[in-house]
Structure 1
Amino acid sequence: MKNIIEKKSFLKNVYAKYSLLFCLLVPLCFFQFFVYGKSFLVHDGLNEHTAFLAFYGQWLRNIVSNIFH
């Protein structure tokens, strides 16, 4: 029983350390975007995804129409 309690305590400690480290590193990593007024979402990505979805939609329609013909 003591071993189980120690293991749970160890896991809580690991989760607490990980959460604290995560909370410290995320602002540090994304602070540069705020300082330089930039975004990690660029406008070119929207064009690329739109073209891909249009191609994918046409491809799926061709597959379905070929199945029924």
Structure 2
Amino acid sequence: MQLVSLAQEVIDEAVDFRQAMARLYKEFTADGSWFFKPWNKEVVTDPQTGKTYDFADAPTKLLTTVQDCWV
């Protein structure tokens, strides 16, 4: 069993929350409804592979280790 630091656990939870908000935003606006828009990039790119992801679908590891996903 690998131990995860409390700080990393909090960061992972924050990313999960923002991704959930991004998914809800996409769902509600697709129906023409209003919803809070997350204040982060809509699309992120993995610098190692060049692959792009919608923020809501990006791997947690990418979002927690690559600063460019947030600025």
For the superposition of Structure 1 and Structure 2, which TM-score range results when normalised by the shorter chain?
0.3 to 0.5
Q: Which has the higher helix share?
A: 1
TM-score by length of 1: 0.37
Query: Which structure carries more strand by proportion?
Result: 2
Give the TM-score, by structure 2 length.
0.36
**Bigger relative contact order, structure 1 or 2, given CA contacts below 8 A and separation 6+?**
2
